[in-house]
Structure 1
Amino acid sequence: MTEKIRGALRIAALSPAAHTLSLSCGMMLADARAQIPELQAFALDSQTDHFWLTRLALACELYTPMVTLADPHSILLDMTGCFHTLGMNEADLTTDITHRLQRRGMQTRTAWGATPDAALALALYRRNHPHELPVEALQLESDTHAALRRSGLTTLGDLASRPRAPLAARFGTALPTRLARLLEEEDPHITPLRMPAPVWVEKRFPEPLALVDTLLDVIRDLAQESEITLTERGQGGRRFAVSLFRSDGHVAQLGVDSALPLRDPAAITDLFRERIASLADPLDPGFGYDMIRLAVPHCEKLEQGQPKLTEQADRPDPRPLLNRLAVRFGAESIRSFRPRNAHLPEYAAMLAPPDSAPAHWPDRVPDEPPLRPLFLFDPPQRVTVMAQVPDGPPRLFQWRGNTYRITFYEGPERIAYPWWKHPEGHGPTRDYYRVEDTTGHRFWLFRHGLYGSETDQPHWYLHGQFA
């Protein structure tokens, strides 16, 4: 594989067979072909390599959730506290990872270290102990490496017993820090590709799970485990994610959103049943799943409270419906109306998530029709109105080619122009009327502008219809 560096094509990666031909990375392609005319070379695709390496890193979450990428071709796994869940030791884990990658036709070098820097360097230089690493493992300037070698310091073992202050004064302040990390004295820790969820549970199988039908049973069992933790914390999940680790390394991801905090195992299972049924491409277990992990990446407060005595016991619970709609259409598509402190009717309500803070709607007068309609036109519809006097109530109006004779009316409800929000400071006033025609239909009309003081010909508009 070749890449262009400073205008020249250089070798970026070699196959095992090419390594035996006295070729090396960084060598110019022209020099390599001068030695081996039949040498085959291909352009390095860094983006595709990074994509493939990221997929491999996510597949390594089978072993630990603490996985990250390091330099262009390496993956780091923090296995702290994970061996007891795997039932493996370091040798078993190395063998398992190597065999899985070899089945995909890939070769790898593995190494164990107490720090990420030590593990990477041991794998890169094929050493067994940090003291055996060459000074190039410090990854400093090439001049610094040359100066160290001229001083007779060729390995990290030569530097380990020397005082750090003189080394920093002579070779730079970065050397002691890099040296401490490579000698496993300072652990910088890794930042995982995906931060572990606040709550997650997993189940491993002695034999790969090859039946999709039993998948929901496993999800229900995992949801029951997560319910214990969520209950202890007084929380519920707003999002649940299932990772299906296939034996060939493929990882399928399933996620569901809940409109409200949730921790009931049966409800969570129903959401995943809905999600699986709506998949365009059915799940393919291949040779089976080695592990299934349920994570709750988004948690919110959910207290287990006793209903008030005044609450109706048979009042329907909207949460199951909201959750199913969230799975089908996405949580961002579920909205409810909330009142807003606004002067004009078209701004008096807003769309908000169902779990937003409850707001109090104005109380209705018992046995009285609503003061304002549920449905508003945007923009208000222009109508032609006949009235006995210009500033009087409407008696008849025409809308969309039909004539409506008014038998009853209520009003006016006067709404002044919101001068405090507009720099011009003035505008037409609205006079609203609730009217009913001869067939019993009710409308909400308003006159735009006061006759005489604001305009000589006020216009009329239909702003809404009552149910």
Structure 2
Amino acid sequence: MISHRDRNAQRISALDERAEALHLKRDMGIADARAMHPSIDVVEADPEADRRLLEGLADWCDRYTPLVALDGADGLFLDVTGCTHLFGGERAMLDDILSRFFHQGFDVRAGLAATPGAAWAAARFCGDRIVVSGEEEALLAPLPLAALRIEPSTRTSLESVGLRTAGAVMAAPRAPLARRFGALLLLRLDQALGRLDEAVSPRLPVAPLSVERHLAEPVTLTEDIERLVGMLAATLKTDLERRGEGARTLALLLFRVDGAVSRIALGTSRPMREPMLIQKLFHERLAALEQDIDAGYGFDLVRLSVLASATFDMQQADLAGEVTDDGADIALFADRIRARLGDGAVLRPVAVESHLPERAVATIPFTDAPCRTTPPKKPDRLQAPKTIFPPERPIRLFRSPEPIDV
């Protein structure tokens, strides 16, 4: 059992099936529970640890859809629209989720429906059920008021007037319900029934481009991961060419068989889509993180995503088919150093507007993006010969100032 402090008393906040079989229940005082069963095992609640665990499970659920949202302290919403066929259909996908969670040591309940509200009710009150579109009302009708996701105070008020099920609320006139119990009651009801749309807000930005590879045999070696990166980057290149873009920020997600997820991101100085170059950057990044990446029993899913992209400038090749770009080698070198040592390892100077010479320059992480420069010269200076006006900054500064007599 897990306990929490409520009004200077320790109470049960969660318990397993064996504790329920002993006629213990939530919100019961720990003193009363120990009086009934002195040998019970009680653990103090740790909300922060529970939150981290839930976020870790949400990361793992990214293997099914990028649209994953947290639902309170003990639930997840997955928008699997357009994804179920990749796993053999709705039932096969639901069974796969439940089976994988079970083998990780979690006893979970799931529901699948056309609306988040109906799926939430099915998971918490009907077990592992798939609700066919149009059957939301039949699902909700016999369920208790808690299935509508309303506040406990609202549920108590509804029960005081004889409305004890969702079906009773649906049968009651809407206008009196709104006046007495608030608009949220009808909002939740309409969302569950599909009369109003309810969007699932993903906890992480959705990548515009993403490719992945499911593996029958999990991989553990860095060399195997790098080969997979090259294969996935080749697939991404086709999509990037179609869009006329190159990747500026890439993310590599490694899904471990036991549920852990490793997320590796890197940036590029220029838009990039050549698979060999992308593979080189991740080679450096993986080499830097080799001690921090625990493959465990292996990764069974590898995903490469483009988080940010930019227009890819095409360059004219000469008669020999070669492209001359003096800055390409420098940019790639800087990217490889940054991938291994971090963005702060390669810096570039930029001019800063300041009347103090020692503050007129700063350093930023290396990038080919346009940098802030000093204000342009006055129009009359642009037309004049360069020898007429001196430079805006001294070409040399003495460590100790010296007077100048003219």
What TM bracket, shorter-length normalisation? 0.7 to 0.9
Deviations for 1:356-406, whole angstroms, at most 9, x for unmatched residues? Answer: 3276999xx9xxxx99998x67xx423xxxxxxxxxxxxxxxxxxxxxxxx
1:78 equivalent to 2:79? Answer yes
1:447–1:2: structure 2 CA closer, same or farther, 3 Å change rule? Answer: same
State yes or no: 1:355 paired with 2:368: yes
Structure with the higher fraction of residues in strand conformation: 1
State the AA in 1 paired with 2:112. W
2:268 corresponds to 1:258:
yes
Contact 1:115 1:189 in 2 (8 A): no
Larger Rg: 1
Cα offsets for 1:71-91 (capped at 9, x unmatched): 111122111111123x32222
Matched residue, 2:343: 331
- 1:284, distance to aligned residue in structure 2 (A): 4.2
Match of 1:2? 3
Query: What residue in structure 1 maps to residue 102 of structure 2?
Result: 102
Q: Which residues of structure 2 form unaligned runs of 5+?
A: 130-138, 378-385
Mapped to 2, the partners of 1:345 and 1:150 lie a distance apart of 76
Pick the aligned partner of 1:228 from 216, 235, 238: 238
Contact between 2:218 and 2:300, CA under 8 Å: does it hold in 1?
Answer: yes
Partner in structure 2 of residue 241 of structure 1: 251
Distance 1:141 1:331 in 2: 47
The verdict on how the C-alpha distance between 1:273 and 1:151 changes in structure 2, with shifts beyond 3 A counting, is same
User: CA 1:257 to 1:144, structure 2 compared with 1: closer, same or farther past 3 Å?
Assistant: closer
1:424 alignment partner in structure 2? none
* Aligned-partner Cα distance in 1 for 2:326–2:40: 77
Q: Is the partner of 2:363 in helix, strand or coil?
A: strand
Moved more, 244-253 or 14-23: 244-253
Q: Is the CA contact (8 Å cut-off) linking 2:222 and 2:286 kept in structure 1? A: no
How has the CA–CA distance of structure 1 residues 56 and 340 changed in structure 2, closer, same or farther, with 3 Å as cutoff?
A: closer
Q: Does residue 195 of the first structure (1) align with residue 208 of the second (2)? A: no
Question: Cα–Cα, structure 1 residues 142 and 222, in superposed 2: closer, same or farther, change >3 Å?
Answer: closer
Does the 8 Å CA contact 1:334/1:354 hold for their aligned counterparts?
no
Structure 2 counterpart of 1:447: 402
- The whole-number CA distance in structure 1 between the counterparts of 2:368 and 2:60 is 35
Name the TM-score, length of structure 1 as normaliser.
0.72
- Which residue of 1 is the match for residue 47 of structure 2? 46
448 and 133 in structure 1: CA distance in 2 versus 1, 3 angstrom threshold: farther
1:67–1:193: 8 Å Cα contact kept in structure 2? Answer: yes
| Rounded Cα–Cα distance in structure 2 between residues aligned with 1:314 and 1:20 | 73
Letter in 1 for 2:105: G
For 2:157 and 2:104, the matched residues in 1 are separated by 43
Contact 1:115 1:186 in 2 (8 A): no
Partner of 1:217: 227
Change (3 A) 1:195 1:373: same
Q: Match of 1:113? A: 113
Q: Distance in 2 between matches of 1:145 and 1:274?
A: 57
Q: 1:134 Cα shift?
A: 0.8
Q: Write out aligned runs for 1:391-410 (5 A).
A: none
Alpha-carbon contact 2:258-2:297 (below 8 Å) kept: yes
Task: Show structure 1 runs of 5+ residues with no match.
Answer: 383-445, 452-467
Normalised by the length of structure 2, the TM-score is 0.82
Q: Which has the higher contact order (CA 8 A, sep 6+)?
A: 2
Cα root mean square deviation, aligned: 3.3
* Correspondence 1:68 to 2:69: yes
Question: Does residue 1:91 correspond to 2:91, yes or no?
Answer: yes
Percent identity of equivalent pairs: 33
Q: Secondary structure at the match of 2:98?
A: helix
SS at match of 2:399: strand
Partners of 1:79 and 1:109 lie apart in 2 by 16
Looking at structure 1, the residues matched to 354 and 258 of structure 2 have their Cα atoms a distance apart, in angstroms, of: 59
Secondary structure of 1:12's aligned partner:
strand
Q: Which has the higher helix share?
A: 2
Distance 1:6 1:170, change over 3 A: same
Matches of 1:3 and 1:53 in 2, distance apart? 19
Distance 1:314 1:189 in 2: 47
Deviation per CA, 1:206-260: give whole Å up to 9, x if none.
Answer: 3433544222221112112222222333332222110011211121222222122
Do the aligned partners of residues 146 and 283 (structure 1) sit closer, same or farther apart at CA in structure 2, a change above 3 Å counting? Answer: closer
Assess if the C-alpha contact under 8 Å between 1:203 and 1:293 holds in 2. yes
